[in-house]
Amino acid sequence: MRDHGRQRGWPEVMVYIGDEFTPAEAEERIAGLCKAAHGVEGVRTICNGYWNAIPIVAPWLDIALAPTPPPAEAAEKLKGTPCTPALYNCGLDRFSMGFYTAANPGPVRLEWHFQYLIGDPHNYIDTVTATEFHSMVLPGPERSFWRTCAFELREGIDDYRYWLTLRQMVSAAERAGRPVPEEAVQVLADVDAAGTPGENMYPARPLSAADCQRLRERIVHAIEQMGEK
């Protein structure tokens, strides 16, 4: 599978083991599947589960998907395993795709993308059920077209890129022993604070699009400051 994918020029193909499994399911079958797949050279395993179940299979799992970072107890259990947490299905808005992802980094950031329709697939207004679920495009008679949330996601990705640029500049300055402007340090700390999970494991006050824009402007100013050094 790995070699075939490389020959075709595909991105890496990972083995998706299980979806939203419970601790009992983890012990009954998911752990065995993880062990079998993890033993194959060149194959990385990935799954989506609950944080009370993921540590059970973590010794044979490469990437664990969840909408939130692991709570302290689960994070402690992941230590010493190959398992790395990653964000999954945590929202189709600017904040979740941008600064929330920046504050909780992982090897991937994934989101389901599918639709369901009852009725005429090109007449979504009169359908019996909702026309989309975690979808960024809607069907049309001749082609698909973007939902407005797709543009929000694009802004979120740009927010992330600005944040990453500043973080890399700060890291380079620190390695070289150069002073780092206080504004740069503070805005990076504010991004971390904005993405810190609350009691329900998602930030108690997610940033609005306007909040994200103001935070991006501060990041841009900090980048300009560091570029002048």
Q: How many helices, marked H, and strands, marked E, lie in the chain? A: 10, 7
pLDDT tens readout for residues 177-203: 999 999 999 999 999 999 887 666 677
Same domain for 219 and 118, yes or no, is yes
E-strand spans in 67-209?
Answer: 84-88, 109-110, 137-138, 145-146
Domain span including residue 113 = 91-229
In this predicted structure, the answer to whether residue 214 has a pLDDT above a threshold of 70 is yes
Same domain for 203 and 115, yes or no, is yes
- Considering its fold, how many domains does the chain have in total? 2
CA end-to-end span of the chain: 49
Q: How much is the pTM?
A: 0.79
Question: To 10 degrees, what angle do helices 182-194 and 148-176 make?
Answer: 140
pLDDT tens readout for residues 62-77: 999 988 889 889 999 9
Counting beta carbons within 10 angstroms of the beta carbon of residue 32, is it exposed (0 to 12), middle (13 to 18) or buried (19 or more)? middle
Same domain for 39 and 106, yes or no, is no
Which of 88, 114, 134 lies at the terminal end of a domain, its last residue?
88
pLDDT tens readout for residues 120-143: 555 545 444 454 555 666 667 787
